Protein backbone atom coordinates (compact mmCIF):
# COMPACT_ATOMS: atom_id res chain seq x y z
CA UNK A 1 0.00 0.00 0.00
CA UNK A 2 1.29 3.42 -0.95
CA UNK A 3 0.80 6.21 1.59
CA UNK A 4 1.18 9.93 1.14
CA UNK A 5 3.42 11.58 3.71
CA UNK A 6 3.99 15.35 3.67
CA UNK A 7 7.58 16.53 3.44
CA UNK A 8 8.49 19.47 5.65
CA UNK A 9 10.42 22.45 4.36
CA UNK A 10 12.76 24.49 6.54
CA UNK A 11 9.90 26.55 7.95
CA UNK A 12 9.32 25.69 11.60
CA UNK A 13 5.56 26.26 11.41
CA UNK A 14 4.71 24.07 8.43
CA UNK A 15 3.55 20.96 10.32
CA UNK A 16 0.29 19.38 9.17
CA UNK A 17 -2.49 19.22 11.76
CA UNK A 18 -1.98 16.36 14.27
CA UNK A 19 -5.44 15.18 13.24
CA UNK A 20 -3.93 14.25 9.86
CA UNK A 21 -1.56 11.69 11.41
CA UNK A 22 -1.83 8.18 10.00
CA UNK A 23 -3.56 5.47 11.98
CA UNK A 24 -1.08 2.88 10.70
CA UNK A 25 1.73 3.21 11.60
CA UNK A 26 0.28 4.90 14.66
CA UNK A 27 0.69 8.64 14.45
CA UNK A 28 3.12 9.12 11.57
CA UNK A 29 2.52 12.67 10.36
CA UNK A 30 5.36 14.00 8.17
CA UNK A 31 9.06 13.69 7.35
CA UNK A 32 11.97 15.98 6.70
CA UNK A 33 12.74 19.42 8.06
CA UNK A 34 15.35 19.74 10.79
CA UNK A 35 15.87 19.57 14.53
CA UNK A 36 16.29 23.29 15.14
CA UNK A 37 15.11 24.67 18.47
CA UNK A 38 12.27 26.61 16.85
CA UNK A 39 10.97 23.56 14.99
CA UNK A 40 11.19 21.27 18.00
CA UNK A 41 9.34 23.74 20.21
CA UNK A 42 6.68 24.23 17.55
CA UNK A 43 6.30 20.47 17.27
CA UNK A 44 5.89 19.81 21.00
CA UNK A 45 3.46 22.70 21.38
CA UNK A 46 1.19 20.84 18.95
CA UNK A 47 1.64 17.30 20.26
CA UNK A 48 4.23 16.27 17.65
CA UNK A 49 7.68 14.78 18.22
CA UNK A 50 10.57 13.32 16.15
CA UNK A 51 11.28 9.61 16.25
CA UNK A 52 13.47 7.90 13.66
CA UNK A 53 16.45 5.59 13.28
CA UNK A 54 19.92 6.13 11.88
CA UNK A 55 19.79 6.24 8.09
CA UNK A 56 16.16 7.40 7.96
CA UNK A 57 14.89 10.91 7.30
CA UNK A 58 13.52 12.73 10.34
CA UNK A 59 10.06 11.30 10.99
CA UNK A 60 7.43 13.28 12.92
CA UNK A 61 4.70 11.59 14.95
CA UNK A 62 1.51 12.38 16.84
CA UNK A 63 0.07 9.04 18.03
CA UNK A 64 -3.37 8.29 19.42
CA UNK A 65 -4.22 7.33 22.04
CA UNK A 66 -1.57 9.13 24.05
CA UNK A 67 0.19 7.63 27.06
CA UNK A 68 0.25 10.09 29.96
CA UNK A 69 0.85 10.40 33.67
CA UNK A 70 -1.29 12.61 35.90
CA UNK A 71 1.31 13.69 38.49
CA UNK A 72 -1.08 13.99 41.42
CA UNK A 73 -2.40 10.48 40.77
CA UNK A 74 0.91 8.63 40.55
CA UNK A 75 1.45 6.40 43.56
CA UNK A 76 4.64 4.33 43.78
CA UNK A 77 4.32 0.68 44.71
CA UNK A 78 4.99 -0.46 48.26
CA UNK A 79 8.10 -2.27 47.03
CA UNK A 80 9.48 0.92 45.44
CA UNK A 81 8.84 2.90 48.64
CA UNK A 82 10.49 0.19 50.72
CA UNK A 83 13.47 0.05 48.35
CA UNK A 84 14.01 3.81 48.56
CA UNK A 85 13.74 3.82 52.36
CA UNK A 86 16.48 1.22 52.44
CA UNK A 87 18.84 2.70 49.84
CA UNK A 88 18.14 6.44 50.21
CA UNK A 89 19.06 7.34 46.64
CA UNK A 90 19.55 11.06 46.04
CA UNK A 91 17.38 12.65 43.33
CA UNK A 92 18.36 15.88 41.57
CA UNK A 93 17.07 18.10 38.79
CA UNK A 94 19.22 19.45 35.94
CA UNK A 95 22.53 18.37 37.43
CA UNK A 96 23.68 16.12 34.57
CA UNK A 97 21.51 16.55 31.48
CA UNK A 98 24.17 15.52 28.96
CA UNK A 99 25.04 12.37 30.89
CA UNK A 100 21.36 11.40 31.26
CA UNK A 101 20.55 11.66 27.56
CA UNK A 102 23.78 9.88 26.60
CA UNK A 103 22.98 7.01 29.00
CA UNK A 104 19.39 6.83 27.75
CA UNK A 105 20.91 6.22 24.31
CA UNK A 106 23.76 3.88 25.26
CA UNK A 107 21.76 1.58 27.55
CA UNK A 108 19.35 0.60 24.76
CA UNK A 109 19.76 -2.36 22.44
CA UNK A 110 20.74 -1.99 18.77
CA UNK A 111 17.08 -2.16 17.72
CA UNK A 112 16.30 0.97 19.77
CA UNK A 113 18.50 3.50 18.04
CA UNK A 114 16.17 6.49 17.89
CA UNK A 115 18.25 8.64 20.28
CA UNK A 116 20.74 9.40 17.54
CA UNK A 117 23.76 11.68 17.87
CA UNK A 118 21.81 14.35 15.98
CA UNK A 119 18.91 14.00 18.43
CA UNK A 120 21.21 14.20 21.45
CA UNK A 121 22.90 17.34 20.13
CA UNK A 122 19.52 18.99 19.48
CA UNK A 123 18.15 18.27 22.95
CA UNK A 124 21.38 19.36 24.62
CA UNK A 125 20.89 22.72 22.90
CA UNK A 126 17.32 22.84 24.19
CA UNK A 127 18.67 22.19 27.67
CA UNK A 128 21.08 25.09 27.36
CA UNK A 129 18.13 27.24 26.27
CA UNK A 130 16.18 26.24 29.39
CA UNK A 131 13.50 24.08 27.77
CA UNK A 132 14.82 20.51 28.14
CA UNK A 133 15.41 19.12 31.62
CA UNK A 134 16.76 16.04 33.34
CA UNK A 135 16.12 14.18 36.57
CA UNK A 136 19.03 12.25 38.03
CA UNK A 137 19.22 9.45 40.61
CA UNK A 138 22.50 9.00 42.48
CA UNK A 139 24.05 6.33 44.71
CA UNK A 140 27.39 7.12 46.37
CA UNK A 141 27.83 10.03 43.92
CA UNK A 142 27.37 7.70 40.94
CA UNK A 143 24.63 8.38 38.38
CA UNK A 144 22.44 5.26 38.34
CA UNK A 145 19.20 6.40 36.72
CA UNK A 146 17.23 9.27 35.34
CA UNK A 147 14.91 10.71 32.73
CA UNK A 148 14.73 13.74 30.44
CA UNK A 149 12.15 15.70 28.50
CA UNK A 150 10.79 19.14 27.61
CA UNK A 151 8.76 21.61 29.62
CA UNK A 152 5.86 23.06 27.63
CA UNK A 153 3.86 25.27 29.98
CA UNK A 154 2.32 23.02 32.63
CA UNK A 155 3.01 19.88 30.59
CA UNK A 156 6.24 17.90 30.72
CA UNK A 157 6.96 15.93 27.55
CA UNK A 158 8.94 12.93 28.73
CA UNK A 159 11.38 11.50 26.20
CA UNK A 160 13.27 8.63 27.79
CA UNK A 161 14.53 7.11 31.04
CA UNK A 162 17.23 4.67 32.10
CA UNK A 163 18.25 2.56 35.08
CA UNK A 164 21.63 1.11 35.97
CA UNK A 165 20.32 -0.23 39.29
CA UNK A 166 16.96 -1.61 40.36
CA UNK A 167 14.12 0.91 40.69
CA UNK A 168 16.25 3.92 39.74
CA UNK A 169 14.01 5.15 36.91
CA UNK A 170 10.89 4.44 39.00
CA UNK A 171 12.30 6.62 41.77
CA UNK A 172 13.19 9.35 39.27
CA UNK A 173 9.61 9.40 37.99
CA UNK A 174 8.06 9.23 41.48
CA UNK A 175 10.11 12.15 42.83
CA UNK A 176 9.67 14.21 39.67
CA UNK A 177 5.88 13.74 39.64
CA UNK A 178 5.73 14.92 43.24
CA UNK A 179 7.95 17.93 42.45
CA UNK A 180 6.10 18.80 39.23
CA UNK A 181 2.68 18.63 40.90
CA UNK A 182 3.91 20.89 43.73
CA UNK A 183 4.81 23.50 41.09
CA UNK A 184 1.40 23.33 39.33
CA UNK A 185 2.42 20.79 36.70
CA UNK A 186 -0.67 19.03 35.40
CA UNK A 187 0.28 16.37 32.86
CA UNK A 188 3.29 14.31 31.77
CA UNK A 189 3.19 13.12 28.17
CA UNK A 190 5.00 9.84 27.59
CA UNK A 191 3.85 9.43 23.97
CA UNK A 192 3.12 5.74 23.32
CA UNK A 193 1.97 3.19 25.89
CA UNK A 194 4.06 0.11 26.59
CA UNK A 195 4.10 -2.51 29.34
CA UNK A 196 6.73 -0.66 31.36
CA UNK A 197 4.85 2.65 31.34
CA UNK A 198 1.61 0.88 32.19
CA UNK A 199 3.27 -0.82 35.16
CA UNK A 200 4.36 2.61 36.41
CA UNK A 201 0.82 3.98 36.30
CA UNK A 202 0.53 5.57 32.87
CA UNK A 203 -2.95 5.81 31.34
CA UNK A 204 -4.15 6.40 27.80
CA UNK A 205 -5.86 9.59 26.63
CA UNK A 206 -7.65 9.88 23.25
CA UNK A 207 -6.29 12.36 20.71
CA UNK A 208 -8.91 15.11 21.07
CA UNK A 209 -8.80 15.40 24.89
CA UNK A 210 -5.00 15.30 24.82
CA UNK A 211 -4.72 18.07 22.23
CA UNK A 212 -7.34 20.11 24.09
CA UNK A 213 -5.36 19.75 27.32
CA UNK A 214 -2.16 20.69 25.50
CA UNK A 215 -3.77 23.82 24.04
CA UNK A 216 -5.08 24.83 27.46
CA UNK A 217 -1.84 24.18 29.39
CA UNK A 218 1.01 25.01 27.00
CA UNK A 219 1.01 28.76 27.71
CA UNK A 220 0.36 28.56 31.45
CA UNK A 221 3.27 28.98 33.83
CA UNK A 222 4.66 26.78 36.57
CA UNK A 223 5.45 28.01 40.05
CA UNK A 224 8.76 29.82 40.32
CA UNK A 225 11.84 27.67 40.58
CA UNK A 226 10.37 24.45 39.21
CA UNK A 227 13.30 23.75 36.92
CA UNK A 228 16.08 25.42 38.86
CA UNK A 229 19.08 23.18 39.46
CA UNK A 230 18.25 21.51 42.77
CA UNK A 231 17.83 18.38 44.84
CA UNK A 232 14.31 16.91 44.73
CA UNK A 233 12.82 15.74 48.00
CA UNK A 234 9.38 14.45 48.92
Tell me, what CATH number does 187's domain have?
A: 3.40.630.70
Angle of CA points 172, 50, 195, to nearest 5°: 45
Same domain, 50 and 75: no
| CA–CA gap between residue 31 and residue 76 (Å, rounded) | 38
Average per-residue pLDDT for the chain: 95
pLDDT category, 54, cuts 50, 70, 90? confident
Same domain, 71 and 119: yes
Domain-terminating residue out of 63, 80, 105: 63
The pLDDT score that the predictor gives to residue 12 is 77
Same domain, 42 and 93: no
- Give the number of domains in the chain: 2
Q: 153-166: b or e for each residue (b if 16 or more CB lie within 10 Å)?
A: bbbbbbbbbbbeee
pLDDT category, 99, cuts 50, 70, 90? very high
* The model's pTM: 0.96
Q: Where are the alpha helices (DSSP H) in the chain?
A: 37-45, 78-87, 97-106, 117-128, 168-182, 195-200, 207-217
Same domain, 47 and 101: no
Same domain, 72 and 108: yes
For 109-126, what is the mean pLDDT?
A: 87
Domain assignment present for 145: yes
Same domain, 83 and 186: yes
DSSP state of 18: G
Same domain, 77 and 193: yes
Domain assignment present for 1: no
pLDDT one-digit tens code per residue, 124-175: 999 999 999 999 999 999 999 999 999 999 999 999 999 999 999 999 999 9
Gyration radius from the chain CA atoms: 17
| Structural domain range at position 132 | 67-231
Amino acid sequence: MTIYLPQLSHQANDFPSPYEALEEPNGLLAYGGDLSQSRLLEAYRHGIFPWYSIGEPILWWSPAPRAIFIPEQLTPSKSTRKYQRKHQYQVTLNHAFDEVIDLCASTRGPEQTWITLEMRQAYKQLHKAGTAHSVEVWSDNQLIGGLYGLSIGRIFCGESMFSLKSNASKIALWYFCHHFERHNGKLIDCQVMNDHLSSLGAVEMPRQPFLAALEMLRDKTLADGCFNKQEITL
